[in-house]
Homo-oligomer: A and B are copies of this chain.
Amino acid sequence: MSSNGPAEPRRTLTLRDVSEASGVSEMTVSRVLRNRGDVSDSTRERVLEAAKRLGYVPNKIAGALASQRVNLVAVIIPSLSNLVFPEVLSGISEELEESGLQPVFGVTNYSAEREEAVLYEMLSWRPTGVIIAGLEHSDAARAMLQNAGIPIVEIMDVDGTPVDSVVGISHKRAGLEMARAIIGAGYRRIGFLGTKMPHDHRARKRLEGFEAGLAEAGIELADSEFYSGGSALLKGREMTEAILKRSPDLDFLYYSNDMIGAGGLLYCLDKGIDVPGKLGLAGFNGVDLLDGLPRKLATMDACRREIGRRAAQIISGHSDAGLIGGEHVELTPVLEPGDTIRQG
């Protein structure tokens, strides 16, 4: 053994360590490490060399406290298993990368209570901005957002009153337009299949818009079926079987998402049901999974990646300007009729 004294508890390195190792003041070290102000090349090199040799990692906590600046963007979403949100996150990541901001994710599991807790936790890190899914929040959560004094972007949905900025689509309109397209194609006995989640406001709004669209033609929903949990593809199968057994005269099934829609499509193909002749099908989201199915399910793209991108742009734009925004971006989902709606 070499002459190690009594186990020196290893401190984590500070600016001072780099300062001593390089013979330059802490302030100058700090400047070099942040590419700030003019520093002579020789000094810069010495500092960089020392920092690297020691393995110094700056302490952003101290930095943030001193400078009152944090390069974090809080991103709050209901779920990761939904497939929808990972895409939004990718859009956000992509866009923020360029601006030097860092997304920090929090998950609420569709619970308002949990959302409040996550939001509180994240705001206490004083992020540069907040991106949060949906327009429905508890009063306390809304108050926190309002008082945070930073740009807030509510995403996914524009049907409601945002706290600050909003980027999304109108799910009511999405439902409405789907109903019109279905009726335009001549279908009349229409069923709805969707999730039971009491807090999935967007699915609820799509259904509301859909029923409004049917009402325009004097039609009511003929039957419906709800689920929660489990493999969505399998649920789609099972629900389709159930609803067709109960209401064999249905001529269209509208699914609240593409996964259960895909399950329904596979079921119909299995059973040799004539799609779209005798039975039409449509989903929602535009997940690229659909491209690989034997037949292409009708759907409506929810513009997920684009939503993420635009939201991130709003934050990074304001983080430069220091302003709070109130931007309102409504994206327009386009009906992709695929092969499961009769063509006029």
Chain A residues close to B by CB (< 8 Å):
10, 12, 55, 57-62, 64-65, 70, 80-81, 83, 86-87, 89-90, 93, 102-107, 120-121, 123-126, 143-144, 147-149, 230-237, 259, 262-263, 266, 269-270, 288-294
* Chain B: minimal CB distance from A143 (Å): 6
Report whether B10 and A149 are in contact in the complex, using a CB–CB cutoff of 8 Å: yes
Nearest chain B residue, comparing its CB with the CB of A13: B147
**Most chain B CB neighbours (cut-off 10 Å) among A55, A89, A105:** A105
Residue from B59, B234, B294 in contact with A270 in the complex, judged by beta carbons closer than 8 Å: B294
Q: Do residues A147 and B289 form an inter-chain contact, with CB atoms below 8 A?
A: no
The copy count of this chain in the complex is 2
Residues from chain B with a CB closer than 8 A to the CB of A64 are 61
Q: A225 CB to closest chain B CB, in angstroms?
A: 16
Q: How far is A266 from B269 in the complex, measured between Cα atoms in Å?
A: 11
With A93-B107, A292-B266: A70-B61 Cβ-Cβ less than 8 Å: yes
Partner of A233 from B59, B81, B234, B292 at Cβ < 8 Å: B292
**Chain B, Cβ-Cβ closest to A75:** B105
A82 to B168, CA, bound (A): 24
Q: Which residues of B contact A105 (CB under 8 A)?
A: 103-105
A4 to chain B, nearest CB (A): 17
Which residues from chain B contact A70 at a C-beta distance below 8 Å? 61
**B236 near A292 (CB under 8 angstroms)?**
yes
Given A55-B143, A60-B124, A80-B89, A289 contacting B65 (CB threshold 8 A): no
CA of A144 to CA of B55, assembled, Å: 7
* Complex-state Cα separation, A94 to B82, whole angstroms: 16
Complex Cα distance A28/B102, Å?
34
With known contacts A61-B64, A292-B237, A293-B266, A90–B83 Cβ distance under 8 A: no
Contacts of A62 in B (CB 8 A): 65
**A292 and B270 in contact (CB under 8 A), knowing A55-B144, A57-B120, A62-B65?**
no
Could you give 7 example pairs across A and B, Cβ below 8 Å?
A59-B124, A60-B124, A61-B61, A105-B105, A234-B292, A259-B289, A266-B292
Say whether B123 contacts A57, CB under 8 Å.
Answer: yes
Chain B hits for A232, CB < 8 A: 292
Of B65, B80, B263, which is within 8 A of A86 by CB?
B80
Is B293 a contact partner of A57 (Cβ separation < 8 A)? no
Q: Are B293 and A233 in contact (CB under 8 A)?
A: yes
B144–A57 touching, CB < 8 Å:
yes
Q: Do A291 and B231 touch (CB < 8 A)?
A: yes
Q: Which of B58, B125, B143 contacts A61 (CB 8 A)?
A: B125
Q: Is the CB of A288 within 8 A of B149?
A: no
Are B289 and A233 closer than 8 Å at their CB atoms?
Answer: yes
